[in-house]
Structure 1
Amino acid sequence: MKILLIGANGTIGSAIDRELSPRHEIVRIGRKSGDFHVDISDSTSIRKLFERTGPFDALICAAGNVNFVPLADMSETDFALGLQDKLMGQVNLLLIGREFANDGASFTFTSGVLNREPIRTASSAAMVNAALDGFVKAAAIELPRGLRVNSVSPTVLEEAMAKYAPYFRGFKPVSAADVALAYARSVEGLQTGQTYQVG
């Protein structure tokens, strides 16, 4: 399969690359690194990406930004980043990407644990994750041509605990390699409309 991997240089993206590259052709995409570049918050940038990559069999997005700010200090602007980048960025990858996807292609997006297990400063992340998982479930029943869409919802990564441990007390972290297996399951399996929870 030809797999477009957005966020290929990140911790999760690198683990996905290691998991899938022995079996598939991986096209590595990042904001500033990789074979191609894309800003997922910009639909024009997304369309240019697909025009350059051409048809594909699977797309994985392991990218997306949100603001972490105490609710007492949050403004509409603080919420806008997550809505435009992590949420609508991934939604637009499907809306635009379906034109370029081969029959039976899959889309796999990234949400996260914080809508299920919220922490301080994560109201934007929780909202975006819940919206993305809801979109995946609903969009799956309307996709034509055998197209599939799923999301992966990981808890905090072992590799990130040095930085984020104070925010995730009591959480059992998971390795990026274990998270990558969920993306493989989405890409290489047959299910659609699923959210694969890891941890």
Structure 2
Amino acid sequence: MKVIVIGATGTIGKAVSEQLATRHEVIRVGNTNGQYHVDIADPASVEALFARVGKADAVVVAAGNVHFGPLSEITPQQLHIGLQHKLMGQVNVALAAQRHLNDGGSITLTSGIVGDEPIRYGVSATMVNAAVEGFIRAAAIELPRGLRINGISPSVLQESMEAYGPYFHGFEPVPATRVAQAYIKSVDGLHTGRVYHVW
């Protein structure tokens, strides 16, 4: 299969790309690095990416920015970061994928544990992750041509504990290689409308 991995240079995306590459052709895409570049918050950039890459069998999105900060100080502009990038960015990819993936292809998006287990300063991330998962469940019943869509909800990564550990007391960190297995399940499996928890 030909699989597009958006966010391929990040911690999760790199692990996913490496594991997929043992069996599939992987197209590594990043914001500024990778074989191709894309700004997922810009629908025109997403369309241009699919036009350059051509038909594919699967697309994985392991990218998306959100703002972390106290609710008492958060601004609409800061909330907009997550809404525009992690939520609508992934939705932009899914909408374009309907037209560019081969029949029976798959779309895999990324949410996160704070969608179910909120943390201090994570209101934007909780809001966005919950919305991503809602989109996945609803889109699964309408996608044409046998296309599938799933999501991955990872816990905090072991590799990220130095930076994010203070916000995740009591959470069990998981290695990126384990998280990558859930993406493999989504790409190579048969399910649709599922959110795989890696907690």
TM-score norm. by structure 1 comes to 0.99
Query: Does residue 1:152 correspond to 2:152, yes or no?
Result: yes
Q: Distance in 1 between matches of 2:139 and 2:96?
A: 14
Q: SS in structure 2 opposite 1:40?
A: coil
> Residue in 2 aligned with 1:18?
18
Q: Distance in 1 between matches of 2:165 and 2:50?
A: 37
Q: How many residues align?
A: 199
> Residue in 2 aligned with 1:8?
8
Contiguous gaps of at least 5 residues in structure 1: none
Query: 8 Å contact 2:4–2:60 — kept in the other structure?
Result: yes
Contiguous gaps of at least 5 residues in structure 2: none
TM-score norm. by structure 2 comes to 0.99
Q: Distance in 2 between matches of 1:115 and 1:151?
A: 12
Q: SS in structure 2 opposite 1:99?
A: helix
The amino acid that maps onto 2:147 is L
> Residue in 2 aligned with 1:28?
28
Q: Distance in 2 between matches of 1:60 and 1:32?
A: 17
> Residue in 1 aligned with 2:51?
51
> Residue in 2 aligned with 1:77?
77
> Residue in 2 aligned with 1:95?
95
Q: Distance in 1 between matches of 2:115 and 2:175?
A: 20
Once the two structures are TM-superposed, the CA of residue 165 in structure 1 deviates from its matched residue by 1.0
Once the two structures are TM-superposed, the CA of residue 19 in structure 1 deviates from its matched residue by 1.1
Computed over aligned residues only, the root mean square deviation of the Cα atoms, in angstroms, reads 0.6
Q: Distance in 2 between matches of 1:6 and 1:148?
A: 17
Query: Does residue 1:121 correspond to 2:121, yes or no?
Result: yes
Once the two structures are TM-superposed, the CA of residue 97 in structure 1 deviates from its matched residue by 1.8
The amino acid that maps onto 1:9 is T
Q: SS in structure 1 opposite 2:136?
A: helix
Q: Distance in 2 between matches of 1:140 and 1:117?
A: 24
Runs of 4+ off more than 3 Å: none
Q: Distance in 1 between matches of 2:162 and 2:81?
A: 25
Query: 8 Å contact 2:2–2:26 — kept in the other structure?
Result: yes
